Amino acid sequence: MRRRPQVAAAVATVVVMALAISGCGRGADAGAGVESRITVLAAASLTDAFSDVATAFEAATPGLTVEVNSGASSSLREQILAGAPGDVFAPADNANMAAVVKAGAAVDPADFVANELQIVVPAGNSAGVTGLADFADADLLLGLCAEEVPCGQLARRVLATAGVTPGGLAPAIDTNEPDVRSLLTKVEAGELDAGIVYRTDVLAAGDAVEGIDIPADANVAVTYAIAALTGAANPEGAAAFVAFVLSDEGQAILASFGFRTP
Protein backbone atom coordinates (compact mmCIF):
# COMPACT_ATOMS: atom_id res chain seq x y z
CA MET A 1 0.00 0.00 0.00
CA ARG A 2 1.20 3.51 -0.64
CA ARG A 3 2.30 5.72 2.18
CA ARG A 4 -0.03 8.24 3.79
CA PRO A 5 -0.16 11.42 1.70
CA GLN A 6 0.09 14.88 3.14
CA VAL A 7 -3.55 15.86 2.98
CA ALA A 8 -4.22 18.08 5.97
CA ALA A 9 -4.52 21.26 3.91
CA ALA A 10 -6.94 19.61 1.49
CA VAL A 11 -9.42 18.26 4.01
CA ALA A 12 -11.61 21.33 4.20
CA THR A 13 -11.87 21.42 0.41
CA VAL A 14 -12.85 17.76 0.21
CA VAL A 15 -15.47 18.19 2.94
CA VAL A 16 -17.00 21.19 1.24
CA MET A 17 -17.12 19.33 -2.08
CA ALA A 18 -18.69 16.31 -0.40
CA LEU A 19 -21.43 18.39 1.14
CA ALA A 20 -22.12 20.30 -2.04
CA ILE A 21 -22.19 17.30 -4.36
CA SER A 22 -24.08 14.91 -2.08
CA GLY A 23 -26.71 17.49 -1.16
CA CYS A 24 -25.84 17.68 2.51
CA GLY A 25 -26.01 21.47 2.59
CA ARG A 26 -28.99 23.64 3.48
CA GLY A 27 -32.04 23.42 1.25
CA ALA A 28 -32.72 26.78 -0.36
CA ASP A 29 -36.47 26.47 0.03
CA ALA A 30 -36.92 25.00 3.49
CA GLY A 31 -33.61 25.97 5.10
CA ALA A 32 -33.32 22.45 6.53
CA GLY A 33 -30.27 20.23 6.29
CA VAL A 34 -30.61 17.07 4.22
CA GLU A 35 -29.09 14.24 6.25
CA SER A 36 -26.67 11.92 4.51
CA ARG A 37 -24.92 8.86 5.93
CA ILE A 38 -21.72 6.97 5.26
CA THR A 39 -20.96 3.46 6.51
CA VAL A 40 -17.41 2.70 7.58
CA LEU A 41 -16.37 -0.96 7.83
CA ALA A 42 -13.48 -0.97 10.30
CA ALA A 43 -11.30 -3.50 12.08
CA ALA A 44 -12.39 -4.33 15.63
CA SER A 45 -9.17 -2.81 16.98
CA LEU A 46 -10.28 0.56 15.59
CA THR A 47 -13.62 0.55 17.46
CA ASP A 48 -12.87 3.17 20.11
CA ALA A 49 -10.60 5.35 17.99
CA PHE A 50 -13.01 5.48 15.06
CA SER A 51 -15.88 6.36 17.38
CA ASP A 52 -14.02 9.56 18.28
CA VAL A 53 -12.92 10.11 14.69
CA ALA A 54 -16.53 9.82 13.52
CA THR A 55 -17.70 12.30 16.15
CA ALA A 56 -15.07 14.85 15.13
CA PHE A 57 -15.81 14.30 11.44
CA GLU A 58 -19.55 14.83 11.98
CA ALA A 59 -18.81 18.06 13.83
CA ALA A 60 -16.79 19.24 10.81
CA THR A 61 -19.46 18.18 8.29
CA PRO A 62 -22.95 19.14 9.54
CA GLY A 63 -25.65 16.92 8.07
CA LEU A 64 -23.29 14.06 7.27
CA THR A 65 -23.42 11.18 9.76
CA VAL A 66 -21.12 8.19 10.15
CA GLU A 67 -22.05 4.64 11.05
CA VAL A 68 -19.03 2.57 12.05
CA ASN A 69 -19.47 -1.18 11.70
CA SER A 70 -16.59 -2.93 13.45
CA GLY A 71 -15.54 -6.55 13.17
CA ALA A 72 -12.86 -8.99 12.11
CA SER A 73 -11.07 -7.66 9.03
CA SER A 74 -11.48 -10.97 7.19
CA SER A 75 -15.22 -11.01 7.89
CA LEU A 76 -15.60 -7.42 6.68
CA ARG A 77 -13.64 -8.29 3.54
CA GLU A 78 -16.00 -11.17 2.77
CA GLN A 79 -19.02 -8.94 3.37
CA ILE A 80 -17.68 -6.39 0.90
CA LEU A 81 -16.88 -9.01 -1.72
CA ALA A 82 -20.39 -10.43 -1.27
CA GLY A 83 -21.88 -7.01 -2.04
CA ALA A 84 -22.69 -5.75 1.45
CA PRO A 85 -23.28 -1.97 1.53
CA GLY A 86 -20.45 0.23 2.72
CA ASP A 87 -18.58 3.40 1.85
CA VAL A 88 -15.15 3.04 3.49
CA PHE A 89 -12.99 0.03 4.41
CA ALA A 90 -10.30 0.13 7.11
CA PRO A 91 -8.93 -3.36 7.93
CA ALA A 92 -6.15 -4.14 10.40
CA ASP A 93 -3.76 -5.33 7.71
CA ASN A 94 -2.82 -4.79 4.10
CA ALA A 95 -3.66 -8.33 2.95
CA ASN A 96 -7.41 -7.91 3.39
CA MET A 97 -7.28 -4.52 1.73
CA ALA A 98 -5.29 -5.98 -1.17
CA ALA A 99 -7.96 -8.63 -1.71
CA VAL A 100 -10.70 -5.99 -1.88
CA VAL A 101 -8.66 -3.80 -4.24
CA LYS A 102 -7.87 -6.79 -6.48
CA ALA A 103 -11.59 -7.50 -6.75
CA GLY A 104 -12.17 -3.91 -7.83
CA ALA A 105 -14.18 -3.11 -4.72
CA ALA A 106 -11.84 -0.36 -3.42
CA VAL A 107 -9.48 2.17 -4.93
CA ASP A 108 -6.40 4.14 -3.94
CA PRO A 109 -5.79 2.72 -0.43
CA ALA A 110 -3.51 4.65 1.89
CA ASP A 111 -1.63 3.46 4.98
CA PHE A 112 -2.81 5.53 7.93
CA VAL A 113 -1.66 3.95 11.23
CA ALA A 114 0.61 1.25 12.60
CA ASN A 115 0.22 -1.05 15.60
CA GLU A 116 1.96 -3.95 17.32
CA LEU A 117 1.07 -6.88 19.55
CA GLN A 118 1.18 -7.20 23.32
CA ILE A 119 0.31 -9.92 25.81
CA VAL A 120 -2.77 -9.00 27.83
CA VAL A 121 -3.65 -10.37 31.27
CA PRO A 122 -6.42 -9.51 33.76
CA ALA A 123 -5.66 -6.80 36.30
CA GLY A 124 -3.45 -8.24 39.02
CA ASN A 125 -2.12 -11.02 36.77
CA SER A 126 -3.07 -13.68 39.32
CA ALA A 127 -1.78 -16.45 37.06
CA GLY A 128 1.71 -14.92 37.07
CA VAL A 129 2.12 -14.78 33.31
CA THR A 130 5.52 -13.37 32.35
CA GLY A 131 5.96 -13.92 28.64
CA LEU A 132 5.38 -15.90 25.47
CA ALA A 133 6.66 -19.19 26.95
CA ASP A 134 3.55 -19.23 29.16
CA PHE A 135 1.47 -19.90 26.05
CA ALA A 136 2.76 -23.48 26.23
CA ASP A 137 1.44 -23.95 29.79
CA ALA A 138 -1.58 -26.28 29.67
CA ASP A 139 -2.52 -25.25 33.22
CA LEU A 140 -3.32 -21.70 32.08
CA LEU A 141 -6.44 -20.52 30.28
CA LEU A 142 -5.12 -18.92 27.11
CA GLY A 143 -6.71 -17.31 24.07
CA LEU A 144 -5.82 -16.01 20.63
CA CYS A 145 -7.81 -14.46 17.85
CA ALA A 146 -8.96 -16.96 15.23
CA GLU A 147 -6.32 -17.88 12.68
CA GLU A 148 -8.14 -16.25 9.76
CA VAL A 149 -8.15 -12.74 11.30
CA PRO A 150 -5.07 -10.48 11.37
CA CYS A 151 -4.51 -10.52 15.15
CA GLY A 152 -4.65 -14.32 15.10
CA GLN A 153 -2.26 -14.64 12.17
CA LEU A 154 0.19 -12.22 13.74
CA ALA A 155 0.00 -13.83 17.19
CA ARG A 156 0.82 -17.23 15.71
CA ARG A 157 3.74 -15.70 13.84
CA VAL A 158 5.03 -14.22 17.10
CA LEU A 159 4.70 -17.55 18.92
CA ALA A 160 6.46 -19.37 16.09
CA THR A 161 9.31 -16.84 16.14
CA ALA A 162 9.63 -17.37 19.91
CA GLY A 163 9.73 -21.14 19.44
CA VAL A 164 6.31 -21.71 21.00
CA THR A 165 5.26 -24.12 18.24
CA PRO A 166 4.73 -27.85 17.78
CA GLY A 167 8.38 -27.95 16.75
CA GLY A 168 9.42 -26.46 20.05
CA LEU A 169 7.07 -25.74 22.91
CA ALA A 170 3.48 -26.55 21.94
CA PRO A 171 0.98 -23.70 22.27
CA ALA A 172 -1.79 -24.54 24.73
CA ILE A 173 -4.62 -22.40 23.36
CA ASP A 174 -8.06 -22.84 24.92
CA THR A 175 -10.08 -20.52 22.68
CA ASN A 176 -9.83 -18.85 19.28
CA GLU A 177 -11.96 -15.72 19.32
CA PRO A 178 -13.61 -14.21 16.21
CA ASP A 179 -11.98 -10.79 16.70
CA VAL A 180 -9.64 -8.94 19.00
CA ARG A 181 -12.40 -7.27 21.03
CA SER A 182 -14.01 -10.62 21.83
CA LEU A 183 -10.65 -11.89 23.09
CA LEU A 184 -10.03 -8.74 25.11
CA THR A 185 -13.47 -8.99 26.73
CA LYS A 186 -12.75 -12.51 27.97
CA VAL A 187 -9.44 -11.42 29.47
CA GLU A 188 -11.09 -8.41 31.12
CA ALA A 189 -13.71 -10.70 32.66
CA GLY A 190 -11.06 -13.04 34.05
CA GLU A 191 -12.24 -15.91 31.85
CA LEU A 192 -8.72 -16.19 30.42
CA ASP A 193 -5.33 -15.88 32.09
CA ALA A 194 -3.75 -14.31 29.02
CA GLY A 195 -4.19 -13.48 25.36
CA ILE A 196 -2.32 -11.70 22.60
CA VAL A 197 -3.95 -8.53 21.27
CA TYR A 198 -2.88 -5.18 19.87
CA ARG A 199 -1.12 -2.72 22.14
CA THR A 200 -3.90 -0.21 21.49
CA ASP A 201 -6.50 -2.65 22.84
CA VAL A 202 -4.59 -3.01 26.09
CA LEU A 203 -4.56 0.78 26.41
CA ALA A 204 -8.29 0.98 25.62
CA ALA A 205 -9.14 -1.49 28.39
CA GLY A 206 -7.56 0.74 31.02
CA ASP A 207 -7.25 -0.62 34.56
CA ALA A 208 -9.21 -3.78 33.72
CA VAL A 209 -6.11 -5.41 32.24
CA GLU A 210 -2.33 -5.28 32.22
CA GLY A 211 0.01 -5.48 29.27
CA ILE A 212 3.21 -7.50 29.01
CA ASP A 213 5.61 -6.46 26.27
CA ILE A 214 6.68 -8.94 23.62
CA PRO A 215 10.43 -8.86 22.89
CA ALA A 216 11.21 -6.74 19.85
CA ASP A 217 12.94 -9.62 18.07
CA ALA A 218 9.72 -11.67 18.24
CA ASN A 219 7.09 -8.97 17.85
CA VAL A 220 5.60 -7.85 14.54
CA ALA A 221 4.35 -4.47 13.41
CA VAL A 222 1.17 -4.17 11.38
CA THR A 223 0.10 -1.34 9.10
CA TYR A 224 -3.55 -0.41 8.58
CA ALA A 225 -4.83 0.94 5.25
CA ILE A 226 -8.02 2.85 4.46
CA ALA A 227 -9.89 3.34 1.20
CA ALA A 228 -13.22 4.40 -0.23
CA LEU A 229 -15.22 1.53 -1.70
CA THR A 230 -16.11 1.63 -5.37
CA GLY A 231 -19.69 0.68 -4.57
CA ALA A 232 -20.11 3.48 -2.03
CA ALA A 233 -23.61 4.91 -1.88
CA ASN A 234 -22.04 8.24 -0.90
CA PRO A 235 -18.65 8.42 -2.68
CA GLU A 236 -18.12 12.10 -1.88
CA GLY A 237 -18.78 11.50 1.80
CA ALA A 238 -16.47 8.48 1.72
CA ALA A 239 -13.67 10.55 0.20
CA ALA A 240 -14.18 13.25 2.81
CA PHE A 241 -13.98 10.72 5.66
CA VAL A 242 -10.79 9.18 4.29
CA ALA A 243 -9.27 12.65 3.94
CA PHE A 244 -10.25 13.46 7.53
CA VAL A 245 -8.63 10.28 8.85
CA LEU A 246 -5.42 11.21 7.03
CA SER A 247 -5.52 14.82 8.21
CA ASP A 248 -3.61 16.23 11.18
CA GLU A 249 -6.78 16.23 13.28
CA GLY A 250 -7.66 12.64 12.43
CA GLN A 251 -4.10 11.48 13.05
CA ALA A 252 -4.02 13.24 16.43
CA ILE A 253 -7.17 11.39 17.51
CA LEU A 254 -5.70 8.06 16.43
CA ALA A 255 -2.42 8.83 18.21
CA SER A 256 -4.34 9.49 21.42
CA PHE A 257 -5.47 5.85 21.29
CA GLY A 258 -1.90 4.60 20.95
CA PHE A 259 -1.70 4.18 17.18
CA ARG A 260 1.56 5.14 15.53
CA THR A 261 2.33 6.78 12.21
CA PRO A 262 3.03 4.11 9.57
For residue 262, is it within any domain?
A: no
Question: What pLDDT score was predicted for residue 171?
Answer: 78
Q: How confident is the model at residue 27 (pLDDT cuts 50, 70, 90)?
A: very low
Same domain, 133 and 94: no
pLDDT tens-place string over residues 184-240: 999 999 999 999 999 999 999 999 999 999 999 999 999 999 999 999 999 999 999
For residue 33, is it within any domain?
A: yes
Range of the domain at 13: 8-114+224-256
Q: Which of 262, 207, 254, 202 is nearest to 46 (CA)?
A: 254
Same domain, 251 and 190: no
For residue 190, is it within any domain?
A: yes
- Provide, rounded to the nearest whole percent, the portion of the chain with pLDDT above 70: 85
Q: How confident is the model at residue 88 (pLDDT cuts 50, 70, 90)?
A: very high
Q: 2: buried, middle or exposed (CB in 10 Å: 19+, 13-18, 0-12)?
A: exposed
Q: Which of 7-16, 80-89, 116-125, 134-143 has the lowest mean pLDDT?
A: 7-16
pLDDT tens-place string over residues 44-70: 999 999 999 999 999 999 999 999 999
What is the chain's mean pLDDT, rounded? 88
Same domain, 75 and 127: no
Same domain, 146 and 85: no
Whether the per-residue pLDDT at 24 is higher than 80: the answer is no
For residue 20, is it within any domain?
A: yes
Same domain, 171 and 75: no
Are 252 and 33 contacting, i.e. CB atoms less than 8 angstroms apart? Answer: no
Q: How confident is the model at residue 30 (pLDDT cuts 50, 70, 90)?
A: very low
Whether the per-residue pLDDT at 23 is higher than 90: the answer is no
Round the CA-based radius of gyration of the chain to a whole number and report it: 20
Whether the per-residue pLDDT at 134 is higher than 60: the answer is yes
Whether the per-residue pLDDT at 176 is higher than 70: the answer is yes
Q: How confident is the model at residue 169 (pLDDT cuts 50, 70, 90)?
A: low
Same domain, 180 and 51: no
Same domain, 133 and 199: yes
Question: What pLDDT score was predicted for residue 152?
Answer: 95
Q: Which of 197, 203, 184 is nearest to 255 (CA)?
A: 203
Question: What pLDDT score was predicted for residue 220?
Answer: 93
CATH number of domain containing 121 = 3.40.190.10
- CA 212 to chain CA centroid, Å, is 21
